[in-house]
């Protein structure tokens, strides 16, 4: 690897994957830095095995580009379902296959990837970030770049580089949920969400205080046939290792309690836990303060996407607190809304862009655009914008859209 790049992307989840591929295909020498052992982020490290935000309620796909390439790779492996409507429309996938497809996409594109590498600090000169300090088991190194994308989820790069950030909205964040994967349930047994909710309510009424969520997405996974469930809710400060550690211990205790409930369902007596997490599914942490902000009003009453560089089709899905039901608000016609470039661009650091749940949305909009399918879209747009900024010193919406079109990621008409 070199010590200078055109673009450095911090975070190898959906947003970071989209950003790194978008930047590299726009001609930028690109480095992708990920603290974990694989790419995919929540999809591979948190048991969040649903890509949301790609399809409208009518199952019309509106996000393409890197998202479609990832889906195509998973289809070849028979590792992803067709779009399914739960409360909204999503696809369910096999996380091991996501690791493989993500690796191959980066290798073919020529993205350099550093796994097992933590962003320790960032250097700022005047109004721009100029370098990252990264640590791995061999020590620390400083790597410079002309432009950066923060896809860390917690906006760690922005925070350490002196960019404007805020935690949540109005001092509050959406709570997180631990994904729990159950095996030992025969494939001909239907795990009915309503029946499971009734069992959980009965357990809580009998005095069980180690259960929080009563209703959540429950689905069969491809390849393994395991059942994934999102029920164990936790509230915590994702910036704090101590508070996150407490929440993860609590959520793992909940997982065992949910297993007992699952085993009472017909045909599920042999159920067992394949895996939890292993990390909590954090829905919100720091946001990069952008030059513009998406609002709830723009989600529920979307306008034209003429000035957008990405779109989202996932409704507002807010989780107000542990044990409280999710609150949903749906997108108006045409079933998706546009995300302008200035929502992804730092207000006070012109060579820094956001991808994934770090982008700037108010409480309502943030509860929509945080999902992984949308992160693939905001990531690809942010990566393209970063590449153009590295080359030209700035990026205009029209230029970003032309490059997205060239990369096979056109916005819907």
- CATH top-level class of 4-170+284-406: alpha beta
Confidence band for 63, pLDDT divided at 50, 70 and 90: very high
The answer to whether the CB of 284 falls within 8 A of the CB of 166 is no
Question: What's the confidence (pLDDT) of residue 236?
Answer: 95
Query: Tens of pLDDT along 262-302?
Result: 999 999 999 999 999 999 999 999 999 999 999 999 999 99
- At residue 405, does pLDDT exceed 90? yes
pLDDT at residue 1 tops 70 = no
Rounded Cα distance, 119 and 133, in Å: 6
- Where do the domains of the chain lie? 4-170+284-406, 176-276
Summarised one tens digit per residue, pLDDT across range 33-52 is 999 999 999 999 999 999 99
Residue 396 has pLDDT above 90, yes or no: yes
pLDDT, residue 218, reads 93
Instruction: Tell me the mean pLDDT in the region 187-209.
Output: 90
Whole-number average pLDDT of the chain: 96
Average pLDDT, integer, range 73-100: 97
User: Per-residue pLDDT tens for 327-381?
Assistant: 999 999 999 999 999 999 999 999 999 999 999 999 999 999 999 999 999 999 9
Burial label for 209, CB within 10 Å (0-12, 13-18, 19+), is exposed
Strand order in the sheet with 84-85: 50-52, 89-92, 84-85
The answer to whether 305 and 374 are in contact (CB under 8 A) is no
207-253 pLDDT, tens digit per residue, is 888 899 888 899 999 999 999 999 999 999 999 999 999 999 999 99
Is the pLDDT score of 320 beyond 90?
A: no
Mean pLDDT of the region 324-329: 90
The answer as to CATH 1.10.8 being correct for domain 176-276 is no
| Three-class secondary structure assignment of the chain | CCCEEEEEEECCCHHHHHHHHHHHHCCCCEEEECCCCCCCCHHHHCCCCEEECCECCCCCECCCCHHHHHHHHHHHCCCECCCEECCCEEEEECHHHHHHHHHHHHHHHCCEEECCCEEEEEEEECCEEEEEEEEECCEEEEEEEEEEEECCCCCHHHHHCCCCEEECECCECCCEEEEEEEECCCCCCCCCHHHHHHHHHHHHHCCCCCCCCCCCCEEECCCCCCEEEEEEEECCCCCCHHHHHHHHHHHHHHHHHHHHHHHCCCCCCCCEEEEECCCCECCCCEEECECCCECHHHHHCCCCCCCEEEEECCCEEECCCCCCCCEEECCCCCCCEEEEHHHHEECCCCCEEECHHHCCECHHHHHHHCCHHHHHHHHHHHHHHHHHHHHHCCCCHHHHHHHHHHCCCCCCC
| Tokens 């992984």 -> residue | 372
Query: How do residues 305-317 score in pLDDT, each as one tens digit?
Result: 999 999 999 999 9
List residues bridging with 177 in a β-sheet: 233, 281
Q: How far apart are CA 135 and CA 75, in angstroms?
A: 36
- 3-state SS of 222-247? CCCCCEEEEEEEECCCCCCHHHHHHH
**Residue 119, pLDDT score:** 96
Cα separation, 309 vs 382, in Å, equals 9
**Residue-level pLDDT at 118:** 95
pLDDT confidence of residue 56: 98
Residue 2, pLDDT > 70, answer no
Q: What value does the mean pLDDT take over residues 152-178?
A: 95
C-beta of residue 345 within 8 angstroms of C-beta of residue 384: no
The reported pLDDT for the residue numbered 133 is: 96
Phi-psi region of 401 (alpha: psi -120 to 50; beta: other; left: phi over 0): alpha
């Amino acid at each position: 690897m070199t010590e200078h790049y055109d673009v450095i992307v911090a975070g190898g989840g959906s947003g970071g994957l989209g950003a790194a591929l978008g930047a590299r295909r726009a001609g930028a020498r690109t480095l992708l830095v990920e603290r974990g052992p694989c790419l995919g982020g929540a999809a591979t490290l948190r048991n969040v095995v649903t890509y949301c935000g790609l399809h409208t309620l009518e199952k019309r796909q509106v996000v393409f580009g890197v998202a479609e390439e990832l889906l195509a790779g998973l289809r070849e492996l028979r590792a992803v379902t067709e779009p399914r409507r739960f409360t909204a429309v999503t696809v369910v996938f096999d996380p091991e296959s996501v690791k493989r497809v993500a690796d191959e996409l980066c290798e073919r594109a020529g993205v350099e990837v550093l796994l097992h590498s933590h962003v320790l600090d960032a250097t700022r000169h005047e109004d721009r970030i100029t370098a990252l300090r990264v640590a791995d088991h061999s020590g620390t190194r400083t790597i410079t770049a002309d432009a950066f994308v923060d896809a860390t989820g917690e906006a760690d790069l922005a925070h350490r580089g002196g960019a404007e950030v805020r935690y949540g909205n109005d001092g509050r964040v959406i709570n997180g949920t631990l994904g729990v994967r159950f095996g030992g349930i025969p494939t001909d047994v239907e795990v009915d969400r309503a029946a499971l909710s009734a069992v959980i309510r009965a357990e809580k009424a009998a005095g069980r205080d180690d259960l929080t969520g009563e209703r959540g997405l429950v689905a069969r996974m491809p390849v393994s046939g395991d059942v994934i469930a999102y029920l164990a809710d936790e509230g915590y400060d994702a910036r704090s290792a101590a508070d996150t550690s407490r929440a993860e211990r609590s959520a793992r205790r909940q997982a065992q309690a949910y297993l007992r409930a699952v085993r009472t369902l017909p045909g599920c007596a042999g159920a067992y836990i394949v895996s939890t997490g292993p990390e909590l599914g954090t829905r919100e942490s720091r946001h990069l303060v952008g030059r513009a902000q998406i609002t709830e009003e723009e989600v529920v009453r979307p306008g034209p996407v003429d000035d957008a560089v990405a779109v989202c089709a996932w409704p507002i899905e807010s989780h107000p607190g542990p044990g409280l039901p999710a609150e949903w608000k749906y997108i108006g016609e045409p079933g998706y809304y546009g995300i302008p470039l200035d929502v992804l661009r730092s207000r006070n650091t012109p060579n820094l862009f956001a991808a994934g749940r770090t982008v700037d949305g108010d409480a309502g909009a943030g509860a929509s655009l945080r999902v992984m399918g949308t992160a693939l879209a905001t990531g690809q747009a942010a990566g393209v914008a970063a590449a153009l900024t590295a080359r030209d010193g700035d990026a205009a919406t029209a230029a970003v859209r032309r490059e997205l079109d060239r990369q096979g990621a056109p916005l819907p008409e």
